[in-house]
Amino acid sequence: MKYNQIMVRFGELSTKGKNKKDFIHTLAINIKNALRDFPNLAFSVQYDHIYVILNETDPKPVIEILQDISGIHSLSLVLFTEDNIENLLKQSLALIREEEGKTFKVYTRRSNKAYPLNSDTINRTIAGEILRNSPLKVDVHNPDITLSIEVRNEGAYIFTKTFKGAGGYPLGTGGKVMHMLSGGIDSPVAAYLLLRRGLRIECIHFASPPYTNIGVIEKLKDLLKELNKYQSEIRLNVIQFTKLQEKIYEVADESYAITLMRRIMFRLASELSKRRHCLAISSGESVGQVASQTLESIGVINEVTNVPVIRPLVVTDKEEIIRIARKINTYEISIRPFEDCCTIFAPKNPKTKPALDKVEEYEAKFDYQTMINEALDNIEVIRVKKEEELF
């Protein structure tokens, strides 16, 4: 028995009307783009599902790709067939015979209300046929196999397996965020969580040559290549940060350096986000991880900006962050040794409760605004794209 379609579900959408249409339209485009290497596939876009019509294509790699696309709640490999009951009996029996297990249940949904039989009758008729013609037993609570039937206006769909999707919203429906990407473990994971929610990202990185190694940029590109699965082109803005860092160490007590540095980073990110039409900035901060990530410290840092700041990992523990990093293949890249500007310049006793007046006193000692403008005028922009196969 051959399955002939994949049913793609969106899950419970809180959006309705035009927003829902936009959601489906964007998702359909993303699906078609992601599957463009499979020339025989066809697509049918409907109000509550998208159907991928296989036309003899092997479903396995197609399902794997679909599982990574944000906005898809779940998917099933289905047999689309005529909905007359004789045909349903025949096809259901053929499908269930290929499954492994001892117990089953039939679950019917009927959205075609003109269909002559109700769901309950369909369930009982088909279950009876299976009981008579196979060794399987019914178990309605915990069956090994659930045979699902959906009777819709265009025909019936029969399936036994449902796969989990990435969830979230389709890429690009939620606006763009300026994300601070460091090369550590946290910030790529934070970026992934934003992408899964349907946001687009652009990245900003603060580089401190010669203190930080040039290899950092290669590492960032490798991280972004993994994230290209979710956004096919990501812009990386590299900011020269060395002069600002040196200046901070010149004017301020070492224990305040991290706070001052991060306030400058947030000023730079905010300014660039406005220039690039981003609606928010984001970072991989997680409360309590290090000195600059106490609530007191986050407060003093956040004070420099009126752009909304998203911190997707703020209360996520490190183990969970690492679990996600492994899942999205960024962990091995992130742990490659390299010197980060924050590690190089890390003071021995950073303030966990920096005082705002003290911070402002230090900042009054140098013209950071001119230095910020200069850094923004000298951004290096790197576009990291999905590698296209030429042939």
Positions in the binding site for ligand ATP (CB under 6 A): 180-182, 184-187, 205-206, 283-285, 289-290, 292-293, 340-342
Binding residues for Mg ion, total number by CB under 5 A: 2
How many whole angstroms separate alpha carbon 67 and alpha carbon 375? 40
Give me the least distance between CB of 186 and Mg ion, in Å please. Answer: 7
Residue 188 found at the interface with Mg ion (CB under 5 A): no
**Of 273 and 286, CB closest to Mg ion:** 286
Q: Which helix (H) or strand (E) holds 22?
A: helix 17-34
Question: Which of 208, 206, 168 is CA-nearest to residue 187?
Answer: 206
Question: Which of 236, 239, 180 is CA-nearest to residue 206?
Answer: 239
270 binds, among Mg ion, ligand ATP, none (CB under 5 to 8 A by kind): none
Q: Of 146, 182, 293, 316, which one interacts with Mg ion (CB under 5 A)? A: 182
Question: Which of 385, 155, 372 is CA-nearest to residue 269?
Answer: 372
In the chain, where do the E strands start and end? 5-9, 42-45, 49-53, 74-81, 103-110, 137-138, 145-152, 155-159, 162-164, 176-180, 200-207, 233-240, 280-282, 309-310, 380-385
* Contact flags string 132-171 toward Mg ion, x per CB under 5 A: ----------------------------------------
Give me the least distance between CB of 289 and ligand ATP, in Å please. Answer: 5
119 binds, among Mg ion, ligand ATP, none (CB under 5 to 8 A by kind): none
Q: Chain-centre distance of CA 28, in angstroms?
A: 17
Give me the least distance between CB of 226 and ligand ATP, in Å please. Answer: 14
**Of 41 and 203, CB closest to ligand ATP:** 203
How many whole angstroms separate alpha carbon 297 and alpha carbon 228? 33
Residue 78, beta-bridge partner list = 5
Put the strands of the sheet holding 380-385 in their side by side order.
309-310, 280-282, 176-180, 200-207, 233-240, 380-385
Residue 91 found at the interface with Mg ion (CB under 5 A): no
**Of 96 and 261, CB closest to Mg ion:** 261
Taking CB atoms, the residue at the shortest distance from Mg ion is 184
- Torsion sign across C-alpha atoms 139, 143, 145, 149: positive
205 binds, among ligand ATP, Mg ion, none (CB under 5 to 8 A by kind): ligand ATP
**Of 49 and 205, CB closest to ligand ATP:** 205
289 binds, among Mg ion, ligand ATP, none (CB under 5 to 8 A by kind): ligand ATP
Give me the least distance between CB of 206 and ligand ATP, in Å please. Answer: 4
Give me the least distance between CB of 313 and Mg ion, in Å please. Answer: 12
The angle, 0 to 180 degrees and rounded to 10, between the axes of the packed helices 257-275 and 356-363 is 70
Give me the least distance between CB of 231 and Mg ion, in Å please. Answer: 22
185 binds, among ligand ATP, Mg ion, none (CB under 5 to 8 A by kind): ligand ATP
Residue type, 216: V
Give me the least distance between CB of 310 and ligand ATP, in Å please. Answer: 11
How many whole angstroms separate alpha carbon 215 and alpha carbon 211? 12
Find the part of the chain contacting Mg ion (CB under 5 A) among 176-184, 199-207, 290-298, 345-353: 176-184
How many whole angstroms separate alpha carbon 251 and alpha carbon 364? 9
φ/ψ of residue 174, rounded to 5: -110, 10
Give me the least distance between CB of 164 and ligand ATP, in Å please. Answer: 27
Residue indicated by tokens 């025909």: 155
C-beta neighbour count of 199 within 10 angstroms: 27
Give me the least distance between CB of 126 and Mg ion, in Å please. Answer: 57
φ/ψ of residue 211, rounded to 5: -70, -35
Taking CB atoms, the residue at the shortest distance from ligand ATP is 184
187 binds, among Mg ion, ligand ATP, none (CB under 5 to 8 A by kind): ligand ATP
Residue 184 found at the interface with Mg ion (CB under 5 A): yes
Residues that bind Mg ion (CB under 5 A): 182, 184
